[in-house]
């Protein structure tokens, strides 16, 4: 049922209802803090080819309250930037046929064991055939017993301190998900610590400055990646640790970060993640 409701919302993406548009309208404070041109969808758009994105937000453990807002925001990004967005929590879409029409699968704050063995195998084949994966926030708090998935994401979540402001060092000023950001990106979110540092296996786009906030008991020290991408098993993977709060999805700079991640993972926009 949820699937049909959300799919119906996505179908109206060409003429987004005013209420939906208003829901993702950034608050005045966020607009004021954003550099010119940072508004989602406005930065140097050339006509990228259209593509189809699947947003998957099934949860088997903690459920983030920001999931509906995140789906709305990604649907709006799609409407404004020429890609379709289909949102579902029905894992049965993870079949060869079900995934075939999508250039990218977005795991939006999924948690726990969300796919069975057959669905996992279908997703592995999808990536191996050149598919794209974009993981947001709790996507790293998902499928701990499926090592292939852990490698696809890059690292598993280990814990987090309270929501607070932090400063992110942007390491890549070329990649479409971070090109619009300043060297030092200050924002408020729930900042994930990870079980392992993924730097040896991925291309780090941005990392947290642990001196700028209290990282809690799971601190990672001087090197704390928070967004990255890599080529994995024949497909493309992009991940960001941000996106816990509702407010994240009304932040122009964060939305542009997501847009760049989704586009590069889909393969329609080039990226160097080696």
Stretch that binds Zn ion, among 36-44, 67-75, 185-193, 206-214 (CB under 5 A): 185-193
Distance CA 55, CA 247 (A): 19
Crossing angle of the two packed helices 67-81 and 252-266, in degrees rounded to 10:
70
Residues in the chain: 274
Residue (of 221, 222, 213) closest to 190 by Cα position: 213
Determine the residue with CB nearest Zn ion.
Answer: 244
Nearest distance, CB of residue 190 and Zn ion, angstroms: 4
For CA atoms 240, 244, 248, 250, give the dihedral sign.
positive
Residue 77 or 108 with smaller CB distance to Zn ion: 108
Residue 68 or 98 with smaller CB distance to Zn ion: 68
Structure tokens at 26: 């950034």
Interface with Zn ion, residue 189, by CB under 5 A? no
Interface with Zn ion, residue 141, by CB under 5 A? no
**Binding positions for Zn ion, 101-140, rule CB under 5 A:** none
Stretch that binds Zn ion, among 43-51, 67-75, 244-252, 254-262 (CB under 5 A): 244-252
Stretch that binds Zn ion, among 39-47, 69-77, 206-214, 243-251 (CB under 5 A): 243-251
Phi, psi of 56 (to 5 degrees): -115, 125
Distance CA 9, CA 167 (A): 35
Residue 99 or 106 with smaller CB distance to Zn ion: 106
CA distances 44 to 78, 89, 263, 272, Å, are 16, 33, 14, 18
Decide: 141 and 244 in contact? Cβ < 8 Å.
no
Residue 197 or 246 with smaller CB distance to Zn ion: 246
List beta partners, residue 207: 169, 225
Residue 190 or 210 with smaller CB distance to Zn ion: 190
Q: How big is the site for Zn ion, counted in residues (CB under 5 A)?
A: 2
Contact with Zn ion (CB under 5 A): which of 190, 210, 247, 251?
190
Nearest distance, CB of residue 164 and Zn ion, angstroms: 13
Interface with Zn ion, residue 244, by CB under 5 A? yes
- Pairing between β-strand 164-170 and β-strand 104-108 as defined by DSSP bridges: unpaired
Binding site for Zn ion (CB under 5 A): 190, 244
């Amino acid at each position: 049922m949820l699937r049909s409701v959300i799919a119906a919302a996505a179908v109206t993406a060409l003429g987004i209802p005013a209420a939906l548009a208003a829901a993702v309208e950034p608050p005045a404070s966020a607009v004021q803090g954003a550099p010119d041109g940072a508004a989602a969808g406005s930065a140097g758009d050339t006509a990228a080819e259209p593509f189809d994105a699947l947003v998957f937000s099934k949860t088997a453990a903690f459920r983030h309250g920001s999931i509906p807002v995140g789906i709305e925001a990604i649907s709006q990004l799609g409407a404004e930037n020429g890609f379709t967005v289909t949102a579902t929590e029905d894992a049965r879409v993870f079949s060869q046929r079900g995934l075939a029409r999508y250039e990218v699968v977005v795991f939006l704050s999924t948690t726990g064991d969300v796919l069975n063995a057959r669905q996992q195998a279908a997703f592995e084949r999808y990536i191996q055939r050149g598919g794209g994966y974009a993981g947001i926030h709790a996507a790293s708090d998902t499928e701990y017993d499926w090592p292939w998935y852990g490698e696809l994401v890059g690292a598993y979540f280990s814990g987090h301190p309270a929501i607070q402001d932090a400063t992110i060092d942007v390491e890549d000023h070329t990649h479409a998900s971070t090109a619009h950001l300043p060297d030092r990106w200050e924002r408020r979110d729930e900042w994930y610590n990870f079980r392992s540092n993924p730097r040896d296996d991925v291309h780090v786009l941005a990392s947290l400055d642990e001196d700028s906030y209290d990282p809690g008991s799971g601190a990672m020290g001087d090197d704390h990646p928070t967004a990255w991408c890599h080529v994995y098993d024949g497909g493309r993977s992009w991940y960001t640790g941000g996106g816990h709060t509702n407010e994240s999805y009304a932040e122009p700079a964060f939305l542009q970060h997501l847009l760049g991640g989704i586009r590069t993972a889909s393969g329609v926009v080039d990226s160097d993640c080696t």
